[in-house]
Structure 1
Amino acid sequence: MATTSAERQRAYRARQSCAGENGERRLQTWVSTAAALALGRLARHAGMTRPTFLEKLVLDADQVITRAMSDETFDKYLALPRNKR
C-alpha cells in the first residue's frame, strides 16, 4: 500500500532527529522579510545553503561568547532554562 504525504513527512522528520553527529532539530519561526532576504544574500555570498549558513552563524556566535567566559559563568550559561514555545 502506498504511503500518504503525511506519512512520508513523519518518517522523514523521525529520521532527521537521528541524523548527523547529534541529530537535528527542526526550527520553525517567523522573521522579518528584511532578515530573510539578508540571510539569503549572506548564504549565497558564502556559497552555502541558508540552513547551513544559519547553523554556522549561531555556532560561531556561541563560540565567541563562551571563549570569553569564566568556568563559573560557562556553567551558568549551559544551565540556562529552556525557552518556552
Structure 2
Amino acid sequence: MAGPDGNGERQLSMWIGTIAFLGLARLACRYGVTKRELIEGLIKIEDDRVIATLELDTPEWDEYFASSTVTQ
C-alpha cells in the first residue's frame, strides 16, 4: 500500500513504556492528530535535522543512509 509520500508503508509493532504511551496520547490529542501522525511527524523533524548537518557524498552521509537498511 502506498503512503502519502508514494513510498509505501511498513508495519511497526512494539511495546513502549506507560509514561511514553500516555504522553503520546496527550500530545496527539493536544495537536489534533492521530498517534501515528504524531510519531511520523516527530521522526521526520529529527531525520530532517540530522540530514541538514550532513554534507552530500561524504562518509558520514553514506553511513547515515546505510543505517536505514538495517532491520531490527
Which TM-score bucket, shorter chain as reference? 0.7 to 0.9
Partner of 1:77: 64
Identity %: 34
Larger Cα Rg: Structure 1 or Structure 2?
Answer: 1
Partner of 1:19: 2
TM-score (ref. length: structure 1): 0.72
Aligned residues: 67
Superposed counterparts of 1:4-83, under 5 Å: 18-20=1-3, 21-71=6-56, 72=58, 73-80=60-67, 82-83=70-71
Q: Which has the higher contact order (CA 8 A, sep 6+)?
A: 2
Gaps of 5+ in 1: 1-17
Q: What SS is found at the alignment partner of 1:79?
A: helix
Partner of 1:9: none
Q: CA RMSD in A?
A: 1.2
